[in-house]
Chain A
Amino acid sequence: MSDALRLRGVTVEVGGRLLLDQVSFEVAVGEFCGLCGPNGGGKTTLLKTALGLLTPSAGELTVLGRPPQEARRHVGYLPQAKAFNAGFPASAAELILANQRGAWPVRVSAAGRERARQALARVGGERLLEAPLRALSGGELQRVFLARALVNEPALLLLDEPTAGVDARGRGEFLELLAGVAARADLAAVLVTHNAAAVRRLADRVVYLDGRVLAWGPPAEVLDRKWDREAFGGQDHDSPVSPLCEDDDG
């Protein structure tokens, strides 16, 4: 069985700026990988490359053994910023079905509604089925977008800072939800986060990314490591918890 995500020497440049430099690691089927690093460290760039929205200038990236564009149907994506058109009259059911059909539903059939309800039920959001998206809280929106990401039964789930902007209680609930979702043996996940607690709770492995991979391994080993100056190009990072991952941040 091939890896869910595999990067070998992946380099990505956008507008002449080097965002990823010779990045190599892989995520096995069924594995939950935490992806940490500073802002601008290339975490979201890596997800967008895995989604086929950006093309590497060097190296090779495969998703489920295929080029990213060919594997999209099997990838669930939870974006960081909800950049959707807030004025658009969208309901949760319509959003979920749009991802399933690749087009906005002109009419939501009974079967479609049931499909969307089932997707929402997996994330504890059944009551949100008919809700207009613009009326939802940050936590509720995350549930709906997670249901959207899960509706096609993905083999790889890409989560970009899913608890950013969610209050502490909602954050805890959402992490428990993710833990339940990720328990599926055939589902791999990559979680971009600044939240060390989330990584400790969910991840089998963690990758530190700052343009290049600085470290990777089990969370306990990587998060609690004493960082020396050399590893960070002369910067002082001697906290037991990496400065790239914070315990109390979203």
Chain B
Amino acid sequence: MDDAFAYLFSPLAQAFVRRALAAGLVLGAAGALLGVFIVQRGLGLLSDGLAHATFGGLALGLLLGASADRAIWIALPFTVAIALGIQHVRGRTRLGGDVATGVFFAVSFAAGVLLLGLRGARAAPVNVEALLFGSLLTVSPEALAVIVAVAMLVVAMLAWIGPRLAYATFDPELAALSGVPVARLEYALLAMTALVVVVGVKTVGVVLVSAFVVIPAATANLIGRSLPSIAAIAVALSLAGTACGLFASYHLNVATGATIILTLGAAFFVALVFRRR
């Protein structure tokens, strides 16, 4: 038995695996907490759209001469601006959140493709595949620090505004009548989601990062009976799925991000079968 445990956790002997695990756990927890509100609001596609917008931000950073690691500092404000733009369109027009997200996501992604093409011939080559599918195992200490800082900011913000945001999620009009600043909280939710998505792109890539936000919360929604219990379940599932997926991918020698997402997805389908009626 001890041998089995030793074999299972043997990857932790390596620093890059410890960084990857820490990044995945921290990002997963923050994403799951945000996901509780995102899923309740029917904005499941939002994080996907923001991830694609991040591609545009990273491309802009690369065009401006930043390295692949440093381009995140351009992508962060870029994606937050896109998130606020989506919320502005949602609030000021009759277009639904999915339509606003769809427009911004397509435009940003197209701009990203265009911007990458505009880079000079002597510019350092960009591994677009790594950008799209992520590379959790290559998270640098600097990137881990950014991820931890963003996650702490998100958790602290949610501890502060979460109860009012929950009320606004239940019924924005009743919440407004009780003095809740509904519009400002919605902007804050989208901005926080943008932050998590941008740093998540580094670990699991543009295509899969939204799963970190949506899947644990969606699974918890099938099981939980109150908002706090749903949040707790979502975080627990995210932590477990990230750890299991990471170790499994290491031992099976397959893509880490994809394995984590598939683990989270498996939990969702199990919950779907055994959900409360």
Contacts and interface: CB of A to CB of B under 8 A. Distances in A.
Interface of A: 51, 53, 72-73, 77, 79, 83-85, 87-91, 94-95, 98-99, 101-107, 132
Contact of A89 (B162, B171, B225): B225
Given A89-B226, A107-B228, A72 B179 contact: yes
Interface in B164-183: 164, 166-167, 169-171, 173-180
B230 interface: yes
A104 B170 contact: yes
Chain B, interface size: which category? 20 to 34
A104 B166 CA distance: 6
B174 A84 contact: yes
Interface in B186-236: 221, 224-228, 230
Contacts of B117: none
A117 to B, nearest CB: 17
Contacts of A77: 174, 177
A101 B174 CA distance: 12
Contacts of B42: 87
B40 interface: yes
B162 A98 contact: no
B91 interface: no
The 7 closest A-B pairs by CB, nearest first: A104-B166, A103-B163, A84-B171, A102-B178, A104-B167, A103-B164, A88-B170
Interface of B: 40-42, 162-164, 166-167, 169-171, 173-180, 221, 224-228, 230
B167 A102 contact: yes
A225 to B, nearest CB: 35
With most chain A CB atoms within 10 A of its CB, the pick from B179, B224, B226 is B226
25 contacts: A51-B177, A53-B176, A53-B177, A72-B179, A77-B177, A84-B170, A84-B174, A85-B40, A85-B169, A85-B171, A87-B40, A87-B221, A88-B40, A89-B221, A89-B225, A98-B175, A99-B174, A99-B178, A101-B163, A102-B178, A103-B164, A104-B170, A105-B163, A106-B163, A106-B227
A2 to B, nearest CB: 21
Given A89-B225, A99-B178, 20 more contacts: A53-B173, A79-B173, A83-B171, A84-B171, A85-B40, A85-B169, A87-B42, A88-B40, A88-B169, A89-B227, A95-B170, A102-B167, A102-B178, A103-B163, A103-B164, A103-B166, A104-B164, A104-B170, A106-B163, A106-B228
